[in-house]
Amino acid sequence: MPPGRNDPCPCNSGKKYKHCCAARDSRAAPMLHVMGSTSLTEIERTALNATRTSVPWQADVAPVTTSVENRPDARFAAIILGTHDVVLTADLDPNPPSTAIGVARLLAHAIEAQIKLGATPPSSITVRHQEVAAALAPLVEPIGVNRVHASTKMPELDEMLHSLRSHITGLPDPVPGLSHPETWAAWQLPPDLVANLFRAAAAYYTAAPWINLSGDEPLRVTIADGSTWFVSIMGQAGQVVGVAMYESLAEFESILVPGDTRAAFNAFEHVLITLDFDARADLPKAMRNELATRRLPVAGPAAYPSIWTRNTIGGGIAESQVRDLIAILDAVAAMPPLAIREALVDWTHQPTGITIRSEGALGELPPLWAPPDRLTLSQPTGVNAEPGAECTTDFDVATHLDDEPILARFVASVGSEEGINATKRHLKDQAVVWRFVLSMNVTQRTPLRAVTEYDLRVYLYDIYPRSRRSGVGEMREVRAGLKRFFAYLHAHEGLSYPWAASILRDREAFEVRWDTTPPDNASDDAFDDWIAEFLDDLHWRVMLPDPNLGTVGRGGHELSDKEFELVLMLQRNWMIWREELIANGNTDPESVRAELETRRAEWERMPQEPLGGKSPAAVLTRRRAKRR
């Protein structure tokens, strides 16, 4: 809370607050007309001066914070009335209703209290939601208020709320209209409805629809009662996994446009409801304690659902909105792969009558790579191939490479060529090959005798474009130089890469990835968009473990050095297991992935000699516990 008028000023001037910064703070923050004074009569005087005549009022029950007074069971909202730049009243309610009639009753009581204090009945009342306006009108008509209407645009009241939120949270720019309480109890939902939501969320997480659906491609979901939501399936980038329900398609599209995503998000005026998944250890302590007393179904240790709302009535979530969310989770989880892979999804969930249609991604281009129907081998072959080998290089000395003798022999093999053009080409090839082998050794920690198709794809479509050290001309030398290097390895080093030629022929994919790489100062969203298509391709080729399953590589946090080493270890094993399954005749992508995930789970629980006899899961559990 701000200081009282007779308290020492926080600026350490030695003066009382009322003789120093009080006037400046009052001008800067309209909420201080009310919240900055300890004198109730002064509050009343300010309000009454603003309401001597009949003027329009604005009213709302709006979320302000999730952590007032250490109340994890609370979902605080401000019951606020304002006119022009003056707050008439602002009371905090720890458990406001989520229904239109409940919010209308709170506002009617606040309006009546002001009129009883001597305020002139307002010429009109503006609220944020049409349902609240309809419920409020008959309640305030007996006290002389004849006009009640709704508008999502209430700039004066929004300025007051911004000041109040900043005042309470200490944040200079708090997100407006956002609710995310620390417990499920704070939503005040019936227990059986929460249990049904957990059941639907577990089914959704198990189905993993983000594998097939892009979060940038909204789905128009029409519920059987006729209500419509624009739904984003989150998870392709391997970070936040879940589902978001937008009331406004235009607002969804606004955050996809390059620019200030935070500003676009802060400008939202319509309802947004998000359900995302967290690891149990990442939940608020109060929620962990709450869930420990209830047997609610979850799909795994990283699949605990939680809800965020934006611009909802009273900052809550209505039971009807929860039922819509459950229906959407069930319907999306039930979508068959064939329906998902259609260019435009147009599908009906027969049990509920829900229809799902793709709105199409903004400015969407054809995918660079089509999902393979059958998988092919991806390891190196030849007498000197050693799938799964690791580098023994001291990575602190980047010039010392495991493959240095091979590089020297490659250089010598073309040293006898004559002519200026051959010499220039030879020098370019040396630079291209050096960077490639250095990346394999240092970044992938993989020697040439173990390089897989996965490694080459990661280098060409992710690592190299992001280096941005070369111009267009040098970039176009990369494919040609690597072609000659792989041909040399096949002819002279007993190392063959049967899959390399087709990848290096794909000029379009290589140059598109290079041309579209976000700059260093681009937003995280821009980079997530750029990487998503490549990760999706690796997923369809079953070259990448799901980052949202298991323990090793689970998304949602920055990896430590030890975690990164385990991720590389898992990736090497994953490609070896994949090779075994394909060599034995299993080439169906879904079947191979299912078997690989089973092997991954067994590997995570198995003691490993490089880990001192501990399992990967045990190592990570201990390290994450220490970090917390």
In contact, 148 and 133? CB cutoff 8 Å: yes
Tokens linked to 142:
């007996």
Given pLDDT bands bounded at 50, 70 and 90, which one contains residue 83? confident
* Residue 500 backbone dihedrals phi, psi, to 5 degrees: -70, -40
* Pairwise CA distance, residues 536 & 208, whole Å: 13
Q: What secondary structure does DSSP assign to 226-245, as a single string?
A: S-EEEEEEE-TTSS--EEEE
Q: What angle do CA 97, 103, 108 make, to 5 degrees?
A: 140
Length of the chain measured in residues: 628
More confident call, 104 vs 240:
104
Residue 448, token pair as written in the block:
């040439």
619, two tokens: 């190592």
Q: What is the DSSP letter of 610?
A: G
Q: What is the mean pLDDT of residues 137-165?
A: 88
Instruction: Tell me phi and psi for residue 100, to 5 degrees.
Output: -65, -45
At 169, the amino acid letter reads T
Give the tokens for residue 354: 């829900």
Under DSSP, is residue 244 helix (H, G, I), strand (E, B) or coil? Answer: strand
The predicted structure's pLDDT at residue 8: 56
The pLDDT-based confidence of 500 (bands split at 50, 70, 90) is: very high
516 pLDDT band, cuts 50/70/90, is confident
Contact 183, 290 (CB under 8 A): yes
DSSP string, 275-292: EEEE-GGGS-HHHHHHHH
Lowest-confidence pick of 99-113, 268-282, 337-351, 555-569: 337-351
pLDDT band at 311 (very low <50, low <70, confident <90, very high): very high
CA dist 384 to 25, 409, 411, 440, 450, Å? 75, 15, 19, 17, 9
pLDDT of residue 390: 86
| Residue 340 banded pLDDT, cuts 50, 70, 90 | low
pLDDT, position 533: 86
Q: What percent of the chain has pLDDT over 70?
A: 81
Nearest to 533 by CA among 238, 179, 112, 220: 238
Residue 43: enclosing H or E segment and its boundaries?
helix 40-50
pLDDT in tens, 188-226: 999 999 999 999 999 999 988 887 777 777 888 999 877
Mean pLDDT over 283-300 rounds to 90
Please list the residues that pair with 347 across neighbouring strands.
356
| Residue appearing with tokens 């190196």 | 380
List, for residues 585-626, the tens digit of each pLDDT value: 999 999 999 999 999 889 888 887 777 778 877 777 776 656
Q: Which of 364, 204, 220, 358 lies closest to 275 in space, CA to CA?
A: 204
Q: Strand order in 86-93's β-sheet? A: 86-93, 77-83, 56-63, 124-127, 148-150
Amino acid identity of residue 258, one-letter, is: P
Q: Are strands 56-63 and 124-127 parallel, antiparallel or unpaired?
A: parallel
The pLDDT value recorded for residue 456 is 96
The answer to whether the Cα torsion of 388, 389, 392, 393 is positive or negative is: negative
As a whole number of angstroms, the distance between CA 260 and CA 256 comes to 10
Residue with tokens 């430590």: 560
pLDDT-based confidence at 39, cuts 50/70/90?
Answer: very low
Residue 553 above 80 pLDDT? no
Contact 248, 281 (CB under 8 A): no
pLDDT at 336 > cutoff 80 = no
Q: What is the mean pLDDT of the chain?
A: 82
Determine phi and psi for 315, rounding to 5 degrees: 70, 10
